[in-house]
Amino acid sequence: MSKYRISVDRSGCLADTICTAICPQNWFMDMDGKASFRNEIIDEEDLECNREAALSCPTGIIRINKIE
């Protein structure tokens, strides 16, 4: 089963909560008001909602890369 690494440039976060609404099992609003992920490394089973969160981010700061 493939693994994926999530990265996010929190400095560009607008705190619009879109990612947390789409994928609450992995995204939350941190104490500084910006989005954070619970798990940096995810399996294929968690890829869909995280990918949707990344695609829905208006600033495009969420990246998901397959771990080779």
pLDDT, tens digit, for every residue of 9-32?
Answer: 999 999 999 999 999 999 999 999
Spatial CA neighbour of 36 closest among 4, 8, 2: 8
Domain spans in the chain, listed from the N-terminal domain onward: 3-66
pLDDT, tens digit, for every residue of 35-65?
Answer: 999 999 999 999 999 999 999 999 999 999 9
The two structure tokens encoding residue 51: 């990918």
The CATH classification of domain 3-66, taken from the options 3.20.20.70, 2.40.30.160, 3.30.70.20, 3.30.1780.10:
3.30.70.20
| Burial (CB count within 10 angstroms: exposed 0-12, middle 13-18, buried 19+), residue 51 | middle
Distances in Å between the Cα of 58 and the Cα atoms of 1, 2, 35, 53 are 30, 27, 13, 10
First to last CA, the chain: 11
pTM: predicted TM-score of the whole model, two decimal places: 0.91
